[in-house]
Amino acid sequence: MCDVCGCGHSHDHSHDTKSPHPPFEKGGRGGILQNKVVDVNQSLLKANEDAAAGNRKHFDEDGIFAINIISSPGSGKTTLLEKTIDALKGEINIGVLEGDIETDLDAERIRKKGVPAVQLTTGGACHLDSILVHKGFHSLEHSLNGKRLDILFIENVGNLVCPSFFDLGEHLRVVLISVPEGHDKPLKYPKAIKTAQLLIISKTDLVQYFDFDMQKIKKDALSLNPSLNILEVSSKTGEGMDEWIKFLIHRLHR
Amino acid sequence: MHEVSIAIGMVKELTRIALENNAKKVTGVKLKIGKMSGIVADSLIFAFDAVKLEHPLMSSAAISIEEVPLVYECNTCKKTFETDNLSFQTCPFCGSYSLKLLSGEEMHIENVEIETEEESHV
């Protein structure tokens, strides 16, 4: 029984609850109050990390490649997903979890493409966490009617700061920075760049209208994360889409 | 403001640890937060002090945070140096760009102070 969401699934959400001090019988009346310091020495984000590890295990067991997409609002995450679905239709089974503070507009857009999508409405929280993704994934599973997924896209809440802190159990983290946002974003939002494996510079068809320095953004991003992959993509003109799709297929079969 | 989510997770985790150790209440918690962790210490304290009130076991817990400075080791000349500057660094000794961060990204609960009731054998 999945005790995180009570969904009836029997997958493992084990937590290490071994205690260095086994609980003893409750003292009777007249017990002595004592202060003691318990060494914890664990990550502040342990609750999220535990659930993320559970998600990753679940994705691995089901043979699903999970991708967490992070960007500012309006960088073109949903449009890129729509174009990606078009490009992979018929050969790759895709599912989408859509994170937003309010509305299910994005999930609607994805469903129109004939792909199962679940909207995760955070109701104010500025990022997704692994527990919300866990629940959302079960909800998505129910709508699959036994069909298996190859790729799960998790579109995070539009925000270049907070989502970087929360592992969702993904196998690949993609950050989008669009040309209109400016080339200074990597240095301003280093954590997003440092925790990603791929940077997509989006809306490249607009480069001629902005003072955007393509060399500088790449140099800065690589100085923060030397192993970062970088792609230039325009969802509108299709420029760079082939490289993105190739990258996805390569990572999927790795 | 990811500090609120972090505080919620932290309180949940501390409650678990406190119950495991038979605590009557949690009186204090000590954290280590690196200067480049991306966590604003004051925001986390503010969030923790708000979240803890919903948990009777935790409601009087005092939080203390040790901020950990940035320490780099140069991969070229092997010297270490400390800095408060969060932006991209070069080695002050040899100018190399190849640096390894030794500390400054920590986000740790170091320890928790609890009050337990021991049986008296009078």
DSSP code string of A79-145: HHHHHHHHHHTTTS-EEEEEEESS-SHHHHHHHTTT--EEEEE-TT-SS--HHHHHHHHHHHHHTTT
What is this structure's pTM?
Answer: 0.82
**B8 pLDDT more than 60:** yes
Residue A23, chain B, CB below 8 Å: the answer is yes
pLDDT digit string, tens, across residues A114-155: 999 999 988 778 899 999 999 999 999 998 988 999 999 999
Q: Do B22 and A24 touch (CB under 8 A)?
A: yes
Whether the CB-CB separation of A20 and B22 falls below 8 Å is answered with: no
**B54 pLDDT more than 50:** yes
Mean pLDDT score of chain A: 88
Whether the CB-CB separation of A68 and A140 falls below 8 Å is answered with: no
Q: How far apart are CA A50 and CA A130, in angstroms?
A: 9
Q: Do B120 and A31 touch (CB under 8 A)?
A: yes
Q: String of b and e for A1-16 (b: at least 16 CB within 10 Å)?
A: ebebeebebebebeee
- Beta strand pairing status for A151-155 and A172-178? unpaired
Residues of A in contact with B14 (CB under 8 A): 40
Residue A38, chain B, CB below 8 Å: the answer is yes
How much is the average pLDDT of B3-24?
91
pLDDT digit string, tens, across residues A152-174: 999 999 999 989 989 999 999 99
Q: Do A30 and B1 touch (CB under 8 A)?
A: no
Q: Which residues of B touch A (CB under 8 A)?
A: 1-2, 4-6, 9-10, 12-14, 16-17, 20-22, 24, 27, 31, 33, 38-39, 86-88, 97, 107-120, 122
Within a 10 A sphere around the Cβ of A26, how many other Cβ atoms? 9
Both tokens of A135, joined, read 């629940």
**B2 pLDDT more than 90:** no
**3-state SS class at B70:** strand
* Residue A146, pLDDT score: 86
Q: How far apart are CA A149 and CA A168, in angstroms?
A: 17
* Residue A7, pLDDT score: 52
Within a 10 A sphere around the Cβ of A48, how many other Cβ atoms? 23
* Residue A103, pLDDT score: 79
* Residue A23, pLDDT score: 38
